[in-house]
Amino acid sequence: MRNRFLSAMLLSLFAVPAFAKLQVFACEPEWGALVQELAADKVDVSVATTAFQDVHQIDAKPSLIARVRKADLLVCTGAELEVGWLPQLIRQSGNNKVADGPGNFLAATQITTLEKPAQLDRAAGDVHPEGNPHFQLDPNRVLKIATGLAARLAQLDAANAATYQQRLADFTARWQAAIKRWESRAAPLKGRKILVQHVSWVYLNTWLGLEQIGALEPKPGVPPTSAHLSSLISTAKDENAYAIISAAYQDQKPAKWLSERTGVPVVVLPYTVGGDAGAKDLFGLFDSTIDKLLGAAK
Amino acid sequence: MKPIVLVCVAFATTGVTAVAEAQEASSSGSSSLNAFNPAIAVILNGQYAHHSLDPDEYLRAGFPLAGEAGPGAQGLSLGESEASLSANVDEKFFGQLTLSVESEDGQDSLGIEEAFLDTTALPDGLTLRVGRFFSDIGYLNSHHTHTDKFADRPLPYQAFLGGQYGDDGVQLRWVAPTDVFVELGGEAFRGQNYPSGGATHSGVGAYTLFAHAGGDVGVENSWLAGVSMLHSKTAGADDGFTGTNRLYIADVTWKWAPQGNTKDGGIQLRAEYLVDDRNGVFTDPDGVISDQDWTGKRHGWYVEGVYRINRLWETGYRYDRLMANDSGPFASGFDPDRHSVMLTWRNSEFSLVRLQLSRDHPNPVDSDTAVSLQIQTALGAHGAHKF
């Protein structure tokens, strides 16, 4: 009797419920939020990183292996952003469902990237052969990714396919209206010159017409040095820079140092969902980003 | 010095060519012949060490030096450099080959450190590995030395595993579908390499069992712990042992970092405890001493703490200790121990310079004060490292 009880206990530990929800592992908060928009409570989403972490540099932690093990679908940026940890998570988890094929959704495959290097040399810093992977701040690309993601959700979870399509239509309508709103609000930003901490703003710049005149990192992924920062003082002054842009997860010291010497304000943007109080979801992320950029004029 | 330079240049050239090829392949689409070339990563190492005690005079009480145990080379040396090739074979297999170059007493040796296949298509979190590979026992054993935080392996790894136990074998491991990471596995090995030897039982001389568990405590803390056992029937191991050898390992790792950004700050603590239990005889490899019984337990442990100051700098302290058997061929009442401190400067994810000072008491009479300076680089494919 006791044996039967024990084995029942063990079975209940490992058994998968017959009508289990689709388990989604999102590498970054923006894709977790996008899954939430498209699937709401039809899936369980687990987000691997926070807005205060540098997603280039994540440890392949045991907790993440356990989460990948249980996943039916990975939703990640791709373009080698997660090259230092995601392949390790997939290999250690032994979960072949998400290694490739339908269970592996990389946002970068849905869009074209910018800044694809013509030449690959690590002497140029942490360059990504597949282009700049920080494209979550271009709402038009986000919409394309949403379309591909909804199709993928429908493919993996046919029972809820209608819900995903209906929610995509709803999201698309709200998103397109929001893009119009954001673009008209951000019109005064066009042509403004900015300095950035890391080259993670090219998509936002291209969308809003901001002009990047320098980066605090001497090369991508190389921490700012005092010599390089000093050289930016004259750039910032001569070119009448509008703002120094930093992400919530970055160390603000170098930006503040430069700001004190140039009078150019530091604008700390949320960068992804959860990066500040306003960025509760994808809409809030863009609302807050534009609010803060406009705020630099005051 | 000359041969070292030659080796480096040869490897550097290979690496550069490989990167150039990969680049060409990606820019010209996927039609080129080398588009399916495996990912190539090359680790280059250069080291200078000064030991106050001549490494040739070094004797560790209770623990004969086997495998890669010992104080390491005096002066300039290549250290351990390696080239690794890996790729998916097809939809069911992943393969990796790691070649290592070592220079010992003026002799360069090129070894096959790892050559294995992993299945990628088994269901339910199961992975089967066949070939030559490092056992998953303990924490450090499965990690390549270039990911270590210190310039050399801790004393218990040197004493009980010859630095690192790898052999020809087969491994099955399973990750449980639980919220807390749980991994169970077992291995069967040929039993050729220390602490095993002689490839007994028709070439299936060693077995292992291991269990690892891990998780997070909030966003800023992560942990990993494990228990493992290595059982081998040994005939004429490097230290002269013939008989049954059981090695038990318990390991625990804790990492804390502000916001979980471990590359920008934080503390990493690790401890491992090893016990070997032998039942057999000692046969002197040099034939000087006559055979005698070798039974009983020996213990060893280490603790290390590493403080990551920022993206560029980290510093750490390690204490390791061995406890010898009080009977048998290496009976000793003295416990060898060592203190080490290190300071590492990381120029990027791909290069580091490490300064390490250590004070080692290998026997009741001697002590060895060592200083080493190490330069280590990784070129080619971007590595994805274990926790």
Q: What is the pLDDT of residues B83-136, one digit of tens each?
A: 999 999 998 999 999 999 887 777 888 899 999 999 999 999 999 999 999 999
pLDDT digits (tens, 9 = 90+) for B286-315: 888 889 999 999 999 999 999 999 999 999
Residue B15: per-residue pLDDT = 38
Which A-chain residues 94-113 have CB contacts (< 8 A) with chain B? 94-96, 99
User: Helix (H, G, I), strand (E, B), or coil: what is residue A128?
Assistant: coil
**Cβ(B100)–Cβ(B111) below 8 Å:** yes
Say if the Cβ atoms of B23 and A129 lie within 8 Å: yes
pLDDT digits (tens, 9 = 90+) for B349-365: 899 999 999 999 999 99
Q: Is this model's pTM higher than 0.80 or not?
A: yes
Using CB atoms, pick whichever of A57, A80, A86 lies closest to residue B263.
A57
Q: Tally Cβ neighbours within 10 Å of residue B89.
A: 12
How far does the CA of residue A167 sit from the closest CA of chain B (Å)? 29
A73-76/A22-26 β-pairing = parallel
Which A-chain residues 260-289 have CB contacts (< 8 A) with chain B? none
Residue type present at position B325: N
How far does the CA of residue A240 sit from the closest CA of chain B (Å)? 31
User: Helix (H, G, I), strand (E, B), or coil: what is residue B196?
Assistant: coil
Chain A with chain B: Cβ pairs closer than 8 A? 126
**Cβ(B239)–Cβ(B66) below 8 Å:** yes
Question: What are the angstrom distances between the C-alpha of A149 and each of A24, A170, A176?
Answer: 12, 14, 17
For chain B, percent of residues with pLDDT exceeding 70:
92
pLDDT digits (tens, 9 = 90+) for A147-192: 999 999 999 999 999 999 999 999 999 999 999 999 999 999 999 9
Closest-CA residue of chain B to A116 = B27
Closest-CA residue of chain B to A52 = B259
Does A251 reach chain B within 8 Å, measured CB to CB? yes
A129 CB neighbours in chain B (<8 A) are 23, 26
- Give the sheet arrangement for strand A266-269, strand by strand: A211-215, A193-196, A243-247, A266-269
Residue of B181, B184, B267 to mutate when probing chain A, most A C-beta within 10 A: B181
B385 CB neighbours in chain A (<8 A) are 60, 84, 88
Q: B208 is written with which tokens? A: 């292992």
The DSSP-derived string for B225-276 is: EEEEEEEEEESS-TTSEEEEEEEEEEEEEEEE-GGG-TTTSEEEEEEEEEEE
Question: What are the angstrom distances between the C-alpha of A60 and each of A281, B79, B280, B321, B383?
Answer: 26, 27, 41, 30, 12
Fill in the DSSP letter of residue A296. Answer: T
